[in-house]
Every structure is written in C-alpha cells, then in structure tokens.
Structure 1
Amino acid sequence: MMASAHLVDDLYQGVVPAMLPFFVSERHYSYAAVAGLTLAATMLSSVVQPAFGVWTDRKPRRWLIPAGMTTAALGVGAAGLFPGYAVTWVMVAISGIGIAAFHPSAASAARRAAGDSNRAMSLFALGGNVGFALGTLMATPVLLWLGLRGTALLILPALAMAAVLVKWLAPVLDGPVGARHPSTMPKGRDNWPEFLKLTSVVVVRSIIFFGLSSFLALYFINGLGTSEVVGGAALTVFLASGAVGTLLGGWLADRFGPLVSIRYGFAFCLPAMGGLVLAPNWQVALIFVVLTGVGVFVPFSVFVILGQNYLPNRVGTASGVTVGLAVTVGGLFNPVLGTLADATSLHFVLIVLIGLPALALVLAAFLHDPRTAKRASTQLTNPAAQPDR
C-alpha cells in the first residue's frame, strides 16, 4: 500500500517536467521562467521536508499522507488552468509543498509496515522511482490531446489513492481494533554524529545521480556521436537499471548488513563509471550505463532505514533529511559541473564524477551499524546476555 501511495505521489514530480515544453509553446514562457517553475517544484519541496519531519516527530500525523498527495495533485492541476505566470508559479510551489508533506509521514508509515526489512523498504523507494517515470509518460499524451487544460484530469489518480488510504491505511498498518500489531519502529537513543556522517554520504551520492542524469544523454550525443533518440534511451536505461539496483540494495542489506550494501554499491560504481568513460563506442558504453545505474541505486533505499535507525526518536526528521534536503544539496552542485563542462568537456566531467564514488566509499567507511553497536552495549551492561562460548 505504501509503495503504491509513493508511486502515485511521485507521479506529480514527473508531471512537472512534462508540462514545461507546453508552457513554452502555449504561453510563450522564457527558458528562465521555466527554470523558475522547476525551482518552485523541487527546491522548495526538499527544503521544507525536514520541517514536516520535525512536525510529525512531535505527534504522528498520518493524515498528511493522503492530504499531501492530494495537495500535490491539485497544485499541478491548477497550474495548467491559470494563465498568469505568478499564479502558475504559486500552484507549482503548492504542489511541491504537498509532496514535501507526504514523504516524512509516508516513510515513517512504510517503516511501520516494513519493520527492519530493507527489502520491504526498497520496494517503497522503488514506488517513488517508478512514479516519477510514469508521471512523464502519463502526462505527455494527455497534454498533447487537451493542452495545459488537461492537467485537471491528472488529479484523478491522487483522489483514488487518497480514498484508499483514508479507508484502509490505519487498519492495514495497525491491525483491527482489539488486535493491534506490535510496534516495529526503531528504539534507542538518537545518534546525531552518525546521522550527520550518513547525510554527507547521501549528498555525495546525490551529486553523482544529478550529474549523470543531467549529462549522460548529452555525452552520448556530443561525445559519442549518437542521435538524440539514443541519448534519451541511454538516460532511460540508466533509470531503469536503477530500479534493479534499488531492489538489489535492499536484498544485500538484509543478507549482509546495510553498510555492506552501501559500500559495495559505491565500490561497484568505480569500475562501471570507468568503463563508461573509456568505452570506444556507444554500444559498449550502454553496457556500462546499465552497470553504473545498478551501482548508483544500490545504497538508495538503505539510506532511509539506516537514517531512521540512527534517529529512532526522530524518524520523521531522518526521513525528511535523507529523502529531501540532502538530495537537494547534491543537486545544487549541478551548475558547478555544467560550468566545468563548458570550460572543458563532458568527457572530463564524467572523469571527475568517477572520484565521487571513491569519496563516498571513504566516508561510508566511518559509518557504524547501529544494531551492532546496540548489541555490543547490551552485552557490556548485561554480561549474562553474552552467548556461551
């Protein structure tokens, strides 16, 4: 249920990029104006997500899950109906705030359903990835058919999913009255130093993701001499491979531990990205795009559950930072990479990006598994709990 809700909510993150060409063609917005809409949709959303996380830590507010999703849909729907740029910007920003309201509470509810299962949490993360991709696929034919007025139709998936959540979310998560499910939420003391170290790893991973997402298609077109179709296909392959990496990361974390999943993912990125840079043609490069996509996404879902374990008393805050703020901070480095590409080449930028998995690997080496530390502390305070040798 939570993976499906995540899919529907993040549809509206994918709808906004699909709307931008129609704003240019129908309303004659400038590229700067369109960039301002992108900023309203993404930057504002991610910055306020930690605030919603702090708010939900004080008292569980599950109503934010359907309410946030519906707000995101209504904002997108209204953006296509009002011609003025200022009103459109506000509507897109409201949609972003709705998405921000959804994620901390939804991640907390997903943790309630998943318990300590990284594989279950990876399914929740995958829902968001699929939703973003489906948003563009769903919106484009509707907008081609009806123009920007068609955004009103895009509200329907959110209304349907919100109705399901209002009726079934509490019974499914908590169990029927009189037979409540036991709590599966993390317990213990908050470990802010470890959480801040994890945040630094999330930021580095985000720089890698945004850099590849922004320049991969352009590298295939301008660096390897392919068509725009092949360049776009390379980006699609990268994101599709990420779906496999997301699920693989959850499986590795459950079998070998979250830190193994994170470190192996970044270690795998090094030869994969090296092969991408050294590939003699686009056919070989596409193979390494698949491998890079898997490696970049392996740590993705593990970050959320590990951050929640570091801050067991502030699960909403941990979710808001790992899902929202840290990702945006990573995206802020994209203009630096763009400037570097203008001054040198896209090939050189990809070479620079290879150093980032190595940096993330070094930072991840200083992380500690909170479950291991908790067991060690229990054995020190209670020698009787130590196993017989």
Structure 2
Amino acid sequence: MGHTIANQLSNKTVYPILFIIGTCHLLNDTLQAVIPAMFPILEKSMGLTFTQLGFIAFSLNMVSSVMQPVIGMYADKQPRPYALPIGLASSMLGMAGLAFAPNFRLILFSVLFIGLGSAIFHPEGSRVAYLAAGPRRGLAQSIYQVGGNSGQALAPVITALVLVPLGQFGAVWFTLIAGIAVFLLIHIARWYTSQMHVFSAPKKRKTEGSLSKKTSNAIRNTLIVLVFLVFARTWYTSAISNFYAFYAIENYGLSIAKSQVYIFTFLIMGAVGTFLGGPFADRFGKRNVILLSFLAAAPLAIALPYAGPIISIILLGLLGVIIMSSFSVTVVYAQELVPGKIGMMSGLIVGLAFGMGAIGSVVLGSFIDWVGLTPTMITISLFPLLGILTFLLPNDQKVREWYTD
C-alpha cells in the first residue's frame, strides 16, 4: 500500500508546496541581502573599515557554506522537518541583533545566526522541492531557487527604500519577514512530516554501495567536474555582483546610485534564468542546459569589458539569464547523481556557491588592488569558457542507467 502511494505521489507535482517553499526561499535570501545592503550604513555610522565589512560578508557566507552539506548529510539519515522553521527563527534572532548591535563584534555575532539559519534552510528546502517535484524535478528546483535569486536581487532596493532613510535600525522591520517565513514553514513542516513514511518506501534502484567500482569512480569524477563548473560560474557571477558597479563608476563616470542599475539588471535577469533553466532541463536534458549556459554566455562575457554604458546593460541582462539558467539544474543533476543523499548534494552545490562566492570576493578584490579593475574584468570574462568541461559529464540517460538494472 505504501509503495503504491509512493508511486502515485512521485508522478504528481505538488505546486502549492513548491510555491510556498519558493516564497520562503525568497524571504530567507532577502534577509541575507540585508547584510551587504547595510554596508554603506555601517561604514558611515560605525566607521567600519572595508576589511571589517569584508569579514562580515565572509563570515556569513562561510558559515552557510560549510554547514549546508553537513546539515544536509545529517538530514539524509534523520530528516527533521521542523528544522525549517527553527532555522528561520535563528535568522529572525540574528536580524533583531543586527538592528540593535552597538559594535562590530555584536554585528558579527548576529550575522552568524543569520548564516546558521540559512545553512539549515537551504538543504532542507531543496529536499522539500525534490519531494514535491513529481516527474518535473527541473521545474520544481527552478521554482524553489528562483525565490532565492529574487531575494538576493532585492539588495539595491533594500538599500534605497529602507536602510538609507531608517539606518541600521531599519533592519528590525525584517524580523517581520522572518516571522512570516517561520509561519509558512510550519505549514511546510507538517506536509513534509506527512510524506516522510511515503518517500521512505523502497525503490527499485541500485544503492550506492551496490555499484561497481568502475561506476563509483565515474560518479566521483563526474561530481568533481560538476563542482569545478559551479566554481567557475560562481566566481564569474561574484565578480559581476560585487565589483562591476565600481567598474561602471570608473569607466562610465556614473554615481553610486546609477551604478546599482547594472547590478540589479544582472541579478534580476539571473532570477529569470534560474526559473527558465529547470523546465528547459526537463525537456532537453540537464547536461545540455549546463553546457549551453556556459558556452552561450562566453562570447557575451568576453565582449562586456569593451562595451559602452548602454550596450553593457543589455549584455548584463542576457548574461544573467543565460549563465544562471544552470543554477537549479546543477542541483538536480547532483541529486540524481547521488540519489540517496538529496540533502547532502543540494547542500554541497548551493553551499559551495556561497563559499566560493566568499572566497572569490576576497581573491578578486586582492587581484583588483594588484592589477586594477579593467584587467580583472577582462581576466574573469574568460571563466565561462571553462564550461567546455561539461562535455566530460555523462548525459542524463547514462546517469539513470548507473542506478537501474
């Protein structure tokens, strides 16, 4: 009976759950977006140095990065549905601390709570999307991930509309956003709990331990290539998100406010690309979408440092759509590559993106100090060419064959 129900549910996409978890992802990542959005406020009100600001960003991303695969691995063995609202409660506590923190140390302490909340939310949220996906795993992961990318894109809006007029105390309003997310995630946790016995039903698939040594090695090598591709994509997007505004100011003579238009264009179109990638992967294959997202972006990325102020906005919009179309797809590919470790794989791929972004910000910032903005942008524009390594990934059919008789 349980196995029959599992088969029925696996063929049905639960859209209400997907839209709620996607909304929660938007709310969660909006909270994270408050932190870099607050940097100009903290720099003025507390006199923080750029090194201190960088350390705040590094701490947030690294806590989230390191903890995500660890929490995902633990949850694969012992799922904890109510970890979702608990994680957002941690972020809510951190956001309240951020609003009232009188010094750098307490700001850093508050940020750690937000990073921990994010680390708990992401792998479990991705698992909920996986369970609610039915046969449309690419679409389901896109709905989930587009919420997060949209939340990240709100940073310039948060700065202009909330933090500039209200200052550091304005962060207190985001505790309400966290509270809404906690409320929605309690509903998600109830649904998740009700499905646990269904999705633990046995499946007619090989387990990781029953695979041949040759197949196990192939899976390991594939995962290494996939991680490297995530590294290349994340460093490129980190360079644009963190430093292109400075490039626009230096080369186009723009104000700080006007330079944010370039970043917002890239981020919001990246959210569009994140959503489109999943359905395209369901139709045309995950490896094909990953390959296209890199190689189609490469000529645009190479042209960007030489473009004028108008053309560059168009290029950034196209780059956002194309290169971010593989974001959710790489998560699904990793989950199907190691199907028994859904939380760990999603935590690894998404957490890796956070961690690589943090490290990339430090390395690229140092490179800019060493050689300048324009040489750095020219160098980083070559990174999408590394997508040629996608040819080393097996196609979707080959991955399925590894786990079927």
> Structure 2 length normalisation: TM-score?
0.84
> Are positions 1:367 and 2:399 aligned together?
no
Structure 2 vs 1, CA of residues 253 and 184 (structure 1 numbering), >3 Å: closer, same or farther? farther
Hey, what does 1:201 align to over in structure 2? 229
Hey, what does 2:290 align to over in structure 1? 262
> Are positions 1:243 and 2:243 aligned together?
no
1:89-108 matches, cutoff 5 A: 89-108=108-127
Hey, what does 2:340 align to over in structure 1? 313
| Greater mean deviation of Cα atoms: 164-173 or 31-40 | 164-173
Hey, what does 1:304 align to over in structure 2? 331
Hey, what does 2:16 align to over in structure 1? none
Distance in 2 between residues matched to 1:288 and 1:140, nearest whole Å:
24
C-alpha displacement of 1:303 = 1.0
Is this contact kept in 1: 2:64–2:354, CA < 8 A? no
SS of the equivalent of 1:80 reads helix
Is this contact kept in 2: 1:41–1:93, CA < 8 A? yes
SS of the equivalent of 1:83 reads coil
Hey, what does 1:130 align to over in structure 2? 150
SS of the equivalent of 1:195 reads helix
Is this contact kept in 2: 1:49–1:101, CA < 8 A? yes
Distance in 1 between residues matched to 2:61 and 2:244, nearest whole Å:
21
Q: Which runs of 5+ in 2 are unaligned?
A: 1-19, 209-218
Hey, what does 2:379 align to over in structure 1? 352
Structure 2 vs 1, CA of residues 287 and 153 (structure 1 numbering), >3 Å: closer, same or farther? closer
C-alpha displacement of 1:374 = 2.7
Letter in 2 for 1:13: Q
C-alpha displacement of 1:186 = 11
Distance in 1 between residues matched to 2:322 and 2:202, nearest whole Å:
29
| Greater mean deviation of Cα atoms: 224-233 or 294-303 | 224-233
Residue of 227, 233, 239 corresponding to 2:261: 233
C-alpha displacement of 1:135 = 5.5
Distance in 1 between residues matched to 2:204 and 2:23, nearest whole Å:
23
> Are positions 1:78 and 2:97 aligned together?
yes
C-alpha displacement of 1:369 = 3.1
Letter in 2 for 1:278: Y
Q: Which runs of 5+ in 1 are unaligned?
A: 382-389
Alignment coverage as a number of residue pairs: 375
1:340-382 deviation digits (Å, cap 9, x = unpaired): 33443433222222321111x222111113543434774xx5x
RMSD: 2.7
Hey, what does 1:157 align to over in structure 2? 177
Is this contact kept in 1: 2:46–2:103, CA < 8 A? no
Structure 2 vs 1, CA of residues 251 and 189 (structure 1 numbering), >3 Å: closer, same or farther? same
Distance in 1 between residues matched to 2:99 and 2:60, nearest whole Å:
14
1:237-268 deviation digits (Å, cap 9, x = unpaired): 11121122112211220111000000001011
Hey, what does 1:10 align to over in structure 2? 29
Is this contact kept in 1: 2:28–2:181, CA < 8 A? no
| Greater mean deviation of Cα atoms: 145-154 or 107-116 | 145-154
Distance in 2 between residues matched to 1:309 and 1:29, nearest whole Å:
45
Distance in 2 between residues matched to 1:186 and 1:165, nearest whole Å:
32
Distance in 1 between residues matched to 2:394 and 2:304, nearest whole Å:
32
Hey, what does 2:65 align to over in structure 1? 46
Hey, what does 2:249 align to over in structure 1? 221
Structure 2 vs 1, CA of residues 139 and 334 (structure 1 numbering), >3 Å: closer, same or farther? closer
C-alpha displacement of 1:170 = 2.9
SS of the equivalent of 1:299 reads helix
Distance in 2 between residues matched to 1:327 and 1:146, nearest whole Å:
28
Q: Percent of counterpart pairs with the same letter?
A: 29
